[in-house]
Amino acid sequence: MPRRPVAGHSTPRVAQTVSDQRLKIVAAPLGTWEFLAAPDKASQNPSMIDLRAVDRGAVHATFTEAFADYAMTSAGLTEERLLLRMEKNAIAYDVSVGAYDDGRMVGFTLIGVDSWGGAVTAYDAGTGIVPAFRGQGLARRMFDRALPALRDRGVERFSLEVLQQNQPAIRAYKKSGFEITRELRSYVADAAILSPSATSAASTWDVRPIDARTFAPVAQDADWLPSFENRFSAVKRIPNDVILTGVFDGGRCVGVAAYSPPLR
Ligand SMILES: CC(C)(COP(=O)(O)OP(=O)(O)OC[C@H]1O[C@@H](n2cnc3c(N)ncnc32)[C@H](O)[C@@H]1OP(=O)(O)O)[C@@H](O)C(=O)NCCC(=O)NCCS
């Protein structure tokens, strides 16, 4: 997030090999959520419970099953990596919800709560229903279940990100009162083909590792709002799993980058 262009960005050399997956940010101000508190007229099965006492291994198993046919592969998402991502996203297990059928978790919504963009915000870091239980309105029932606990925590809005091609998810979220608020681009490239550009090699800018104390003030100065998932304060939640880099103009840090290898 440099505050002015930084020489030596290597993007142009790999642009043709970088794929661009657009994400939509969907948010619901809690004020528009009143209807969610209405009694659910659908079947009460599966039953809903919060996840505070639920074994994290069970959450990982259901996550893996529910996301097996997802557009982005979750192969390699070990339980450890899932837990790290939940830690980064400030997951509150007491407001997160599991849907249970005959003792088996068949769905979940993992909800983080943190300050974001100046408001206490809930963030849906992952909602999934195993295939046999989709199309029954379970996603909405889980949000219904979470709502009172979110209000008790002072949450002012609820945000999430969704791939634009994930129409079932967009339909489920819209039915639950979420609205599209902005569009993000998410880039991915094969690291093997990345290499420093010629302009980078010739640059006089000093690029070096920094610590969180150097990172924070430059990040706070940014004139744009990263998504909840990439909010600057997330760095503090997983300090041992983030690499921080700064760009220096003379002695002054003018740009920072944060990268978490385990979370890619
Ligand atoms: C997205 C997801 C959580 C929706 O949960 P859900 O409880 O099935 O939601 P709904 O019952 O409201 O159905 C939503 C839409 O799914 C589609 N759908 C209906 N039956 C379905 C089935 N058997 N299988 C797949 N999709 C189905 C329909 O388009 C439906 O919209 P409609 O009711 O307006 O026709 C669920 O499909 C899922 O777990 N998908 C895989 C993981 C995922 O994509 N998570 C979201 C990441 S952002």
Structural domains present in the chain: 11-18+190-263 (no CATH), 20-187 (3.40.630.30)
Q: What is the pLDDT of residue 10?
A: 31
217 versus 4: the higher-pLDDT residue is 217
pLDDT of residue 211: 95
Residue 102, burial from CB neighbour count under 10 angstroms (0-12, 13-18, 19+): exposed
For residue 127, pLDDT over 70 is answered with: yes
pLDDT at 30 exceeding the cut of 70 = no
State the average pLDDT for the chain. Answer: 85
Please state the atom number of ligand 1 nearest to the C-alpha of residue 137.
Answer: 11
Could you report the per-residue pLDDT of 165-181, keeping only the tens digit for each? 999 999 999 999 999 99
Q: Is the CB of 166 under 6 A from ligand 1?
A: yes
Note the pLDDT tens digit of each residue in 230-247.
Answer: 999 999 999 999 999 999
- Angstrom distance (rounded) from CA 223 to CA 231: 13
CA of 172 to the centre of ligand 1 (A): 6
Assign 204 a pLDDT band (cuts: 50, 70, 90). confident
How many whole angstroms from 188 Cα to the centroid of ligand 1? 26
What mean pLDDT comes out for the span 90-106? 97
Top-confidence residue, 199 or 133: 133
Q: What is the C-alpha separation between 231 and 123, in angstroms, rounded?
A: 11
Residue nearest to atom 33 of ligand 1 (CA): 135
How far does the centroid of ligand 1 lie from the alpha carbon of residue 27, in Å? 18
What average pLDDT does range 107-125 have in this prediction? Answer: 96
pLDDT at 44 over 90: no
Q: What whole-number percentage of the chain has pLDDT above 90? A: 69
Question: Is 171 a pocket residue for ligand 1 (Cβ < 6 Å)?
Answer: yes
Is 34's pLDDT higher than 90? no
pLDDT of residue 42: 47
Q: How confident is the model at residue 76 (pLDDT cuts 50, 70, 90)?
A: confident
The predicted model gives 141-160 an average pLDDT of 96
Q: What is the mean pLDDT of residues 256-261?
A: 93
Which of 134, 140, 141, 162 has most ligand 1 atoms within 8 Å of its beta carbon, as the pocket-test mutant? 134
**pLDDT above 80 for 147:** yes
